[in-house]
Amino acid sequence: MATPKTFSIRTFGCQMNEHDSERLAGLLVADGLVPATSERDADVVVLNTCTIRENADLKLYSALGHLKALKQERPDMQIAVGGCMAQKDRGAIQERANWVDVVFGTHNVNAAPALLRRARSDGSLVEVLDEPDPVSNREMAPALYAVRETPFAAWITIQTGCDNSCAYCIVPSVRGREISRPMDDLIEEATMLANAGVVELTVLGQNVNSYGRDITKRGPLFAALLRALGEVEGIERIRFTSPHPKDLRPETIAAMAETANVCPQLHLPMQHGSNRVLRAMRRGYTIERYLERLAQARAALPDLAVTTDLIVGFPGETEAEFEELLEAVSVAQFDSAFTFIFSPREGTRAALLTNEFIADDVIKERFERLKHVLDRSALKKHAAREGLLEEVLVEGPSRRNAAMLSGRTRQGKLIHFPLVEGVRAGSLVHARVNHGAPYHLIGEIESVVRAPRHKIRIPLLVS
């Protein structure tokens, strides 16, 4: 019997890309390949790319430069590039790196195994679809064979694409228009995952609040979807990302509050605190409207944890406007935030505003001031949890201290606690919080609620 070929996948970017990589790994396994122990030993190396940040190009071509040496040592090795950068740059990738065998886009992930087979006989190729092919591609079919790093938690993609037109964002160009999956398919997939031992679902979409707007005239169906997922037996926790503030509706807030297994966690991207900048960003809301909806969510869910995205240095941002951002962040009192320095992406409106770009030293100084305000509110939020008993889903040993376990509370907060015999990844425990730091909690287990529900299996290695 011939030795099966091996593969390795390196993922750049967001949770959507990570989920695509899980699906791709499952497709390669179904095609007869097995995971490699390392990228150096792999017969097939796939780079699943992102294009959100400016340095995404640098990361890709740096990785391809290292792979060129491996390709020279092992000419039969195949290198494939997929994802958003492949969708955007297409043939330019092979022009800059002619040792790449296959380039595929965001709409034909499912075709990757067949493309790799074709490339072995026909030579290098580029196949990037401008939109999904519902017949041959079925890009949003349930990820039945996805190879997941964590057997007790899974992502479920409810839509692809984005119908918004934020001035700084390339996603609509590389992911296309919003396409929602039928609700029955999603419930079927969630049930399948629950039967396999998954207890936590994270719902993914570019703008989950608009889910279903393309398949019904009654308006978005996201609130109904949350309630339906909440009825799936075995699913203990439901999270979602990301909602758009302009589309956060009262019925969604009500569904969160009234569905017991929807976690009290809301990621609500503010992006900026100046109305003039928000208009320039084409965000579709004012800061007053944002804070009003945030207040409505907190009123319905008193223990709600709120995280956000913020951009520093958007073209034309004045010192006074940055002060408005600091003030809005101070009022919002976020639990944590993902902060970004503006990065011009070719093909976006903001990239054309070159005469309004902010000097690097000014952006750096503003970034540090913003971080100070955010750290202050995060520490306040975490310190307020000291002494509380938290329900924690154990994720496994701490990455930094082998004597500690790590897990997530229902609010999504990372908590570390000493090892306890018999407690392992997938266990549900009650832990008392002893200390709150800006980015994590420290506590100790007081009781075990239940043992893991998933079957123990040998993990598939995906780099």
How far is it, in rounded angstroms, from Cα 221 to Cα 436? Answer: 37
What 8-state DSSP symbol labels residue 420? -
How far apart are alpha carbons 330 and 184 in whole angstroms? 42
What confidence score (pLDDT) does residue 107 get? 81
State the pLDDT at residue 456. Answer: 52
Per-residue pLDDT at 336 exceeds 90:
yes
pLDDT at 76 over 80: yes
Mean pLDDT of 328-351: 94
Give the pLDDT of residue 219. 79
- Give residue 272's pLDDT: 98
Other beta carbons within 10 angstroms of residue 446's beta carbon come to 12
In which residue are the tokens 């936590």 written? 200
Element (H, E) at 195: helix 183-195
pLDDT digits (tens, 9 = 90+) for 176-206: 889 899 999 999 999 999 998 999 999 999 8
Distance separating alpha carbons of residues 59 and 80, to the nearest angstrom: 15
pLDDT confidence bin for 458, thresholds 50/70/90: very low
Name the region of 143 (left: φ>0; alpha: ψ -120 to 50; beta: rest): beta
Amino acid of residue 148: R
Give dist(CA 223, CA 256) in Å, integer. Answer: 8
Could you tell me the two tokens for 64?
Answer: 């391809």
Tell me the pLDDT of the chain averaged across its residues: 89
Share of the chain above pLDDT 70, in %: 94
Q: Tell me the whole-structure pTM to 2 decimals.
A: 0.84
Task: Find the helix or strand (DSSP H, E) in which 112 lies.
Answer: helix 112-122
SS3 177: coil
Output the pLDDT for position 134.
55
Task: Check if the beta carbon of residue 298 is closer than 8 Å to that of residue 334.
Answer: no
In the chain the domains, ranked by start, together with CATH numbers, are 6-127 (3.40.50.12160), 153-383 (3.80.30.20), 389-450 (2.40.50.140)
The mean per-residue pLDDT over the stretch 107-121 comes to 87
Contact 384, 436 (CB under 8 A): yes
Residue 135 pLDDT more than 80? no
Query: Does residue 175 or residue 311 have the better pLDDT?
Result: 311
Helix or strand holding residue 241 (H, E): strand 237-241
Count H helices and E strands in the chain, helices first: 13, 19
Task: Write down the residue that tokens 């196949």 correspond to.
Answer: 127
Q: How many CB atoms lie within 10 A of CB 248?
A: 21
| SS3 state at 200 | strand
d(CA 108, CA 127): 8
pLDDT of residue 137: 39
Q: Is the pLDDT of residue 245 over 90?
A: yes
Question: What is the Cα Rg of the chain in Å?
Answer: 23
Region 147-159: mean pLDDT is: 86
Cα distance between residue 395 and residue 155, in whole Å: 15
Closest among 198, 204, 196 to 222, alpha carbons compared: 204
Q: Ranked by mean pLDDT, which of 13-17, 209-213, 289-293, 452-456 comes out on top?
A: 289-293
Q: What is the rounded CA–CA span in Å between residue 63 and residue 100? A: 12
pLDDT top residue among 298 and 19: 298
What's the mean pLDDT in 38-44?
91
Q: Which two tokens stand for residue 424?
A: 């392992």
